[in-house]
Every structure is written in C-alpha cells, then in structure tokens.
Amino acid sequence: MILHRERRRPVAWKVRSESIASGWLTPFVALEWVWEWVAFALSSWTFIEVLEYLETFSVLVAVVFYFAESGDRLKQRHYQAWQVVNTAQGKGGSGGRIEALQELNEDRVPLVGVDASSAYLQGLNLEGAKLVRSDFSSADLRKSNFKGVDFTQANLDSANLRGAALDRAWCEQTDLRNADLNGSSLVRVDFSGTSLDEADMRGADLREAQWQHLKSIQGANIAGVRNAPKGFVEWALKNGAVDQPGAEQ
C-alpha cells in the first residue's frame, strides 16, 4: 500500500542559513534546501502519485504472469532435458545426461524406455526413478544411486555397477548378464525373472534379497557375497555360479 503524507513547506533560505554552524557547510545545506523545495513542489502533483500506483500495479502484473507461465517454463525445461538425453543416444561419455536425467527424475518425470547404453554416467543419482524397459547396457554406472528404482524389463547387460546402491530396486525380468556388481548394495532387491549369467557379484550385499525366482545365474561369481539369504549360495553354486575370489571378469 502506498501512503502519502503532506510535505511541509520548507523554511526561507534566510532562516535556514542562520542555523549553519560552519561556513564550509553552506554549499551542502543549500543543495539540500533546493531539493526540499523540489520535493515539496512535486508532492502536490497528482501525476506523480498516479505514476507510483502504476509502478506498483506493474509489479503485481509481472508476478501474476510469472506464476501463470510457470507450467510452460517447466515443460520447456523438461523438453530441453529430453533433447540432451535423446541426442546422445548410443554415444559414449556423459554429454550432459547425468544432469538431464537427474533433473527429470527430481521433477518425478517417468524415465520409461530411456536409452543410455554405453554412456559414462558414474555417480548418477536416480533414486526412486521409473526406469522400466530402460537400456543401460555397457554403461559406466559405478557408485550410482539406484535405490528404490523400478528396473522391470530393463537391459543392464555388461553395465558397470561397481559400488552402486540398488537397495529395494525392482529387477523383475531384468537383464543383468555380464554386469559388474562387485561391492554393490543389493539389499532387498527383487530378482524375480532376472538373468545374472556371468555377473561379477563378489562382495555384493544381498541382505534380504528376493532371489527365489531368479531366472538364471550360470557363471556368476558369488565369491565373498555379504549377508546372503539362507539357501542362496547353495542354490547358486548348484545352478552354475562360481566362487572364485581372485578371478577377474
């Protein structure tokens, strides 16, 4: 709200000059006195008051338009992020995909079917993402955060997931053949229908993992797996897994 108060008429120069303590202050006091008269003269102009109201109104209009267009700005941001992801398909390196994918996921945009095969995405954080039917085959995903991710029917063949966190991930019918899961966290992962053939699982944490409906584990190296559920190691070795601590995949 704009509040206007009536300005008092400035005193005459003769009166003001008598209050000056030192002569060297005279130019400064005189300049201040002149501006007091200018402000007094303008305070009576209705036009100036109208301009002040228009300034306030313009700010209000700008705020309204800012919020009205917020949806369009969000769409534009998502469009640009998808452009980065799609343009880099099939290429090595990051190409800005780490930031783009994380931004989309932070806005809760489903990443169903995204293709990031062969990409360098080390340290990617997609916690809680919807990555159904996604393709991360041969991608470098070391130390990435995939906690709570839906990897249903995803392709992670030959992906490097060393030290990655996949706690509570849905890996139903997921292709994890030849994947490097060395030292990864697979706590409470659902492996229903998943292929782990030739995967390097050395030192992986399998606490409470749902392994009973694994599709296959032929050739997987399970040496040193931690917190393996009861019966898993025996079943895995019986179905073609190996226990070779010093082996390199």
Answer for the pair 135, 117: CB distance below 8 angstroms, yes or no: yes
Task: Report the distance separating Cα 40 and Cα 182, nearest Å.
Answer: 80
What pLDDT is stored for residue 49 in this prediction? 61
pLDDT-based confidence at 42, cuts 50/70/90? low
Question: Tokens representing 202?
Answer: 């050395």
DSSP 94: -
Topology of the domain comprising 72-249: Pectate Lyase C-like (2.160.20)
The 10s digit of each residue's pLDDT in 232-246 is: 999 999 999 999 997
- CB atoms near residue 161 (< 10 Å): 28
What pLDDT is stored for residue 103 in this prediction? 95
**Over 60: is that where the pLDDT of 120 sits?**
yes
Question: Tokens representing 185?
Answer: 């966290």
- CB atoms near residue 146 (< 10 Å): 28
Enumerate the domain spans of the chain.
Answer: 13-68, 72-249
The 10s digit of each residue's pLDDT in 157-191 is: 999 999 999 999 999 999 999 999 999 999 999 99
Per-state percent for the chain, helix, strand, coil, to nearest 5: 35, 10, 55
Residue keyed to tokens 């053939």? 197
What pLDDT is stored for residue 72 in this prediction? 66
Task: Report the distance separating Cα 67 and Cα 54, nearest Å.
Answer: 20
Please state, for a pLDDT cut of 90, what percent of the chain lies above it.
62
pTM for the model stands at 0.71
Question: Tokens representing 239?
Answer: 């179905």
Which among 216, 219, 126, 202 is positioned nearest to 169, based on CA atoms? 126
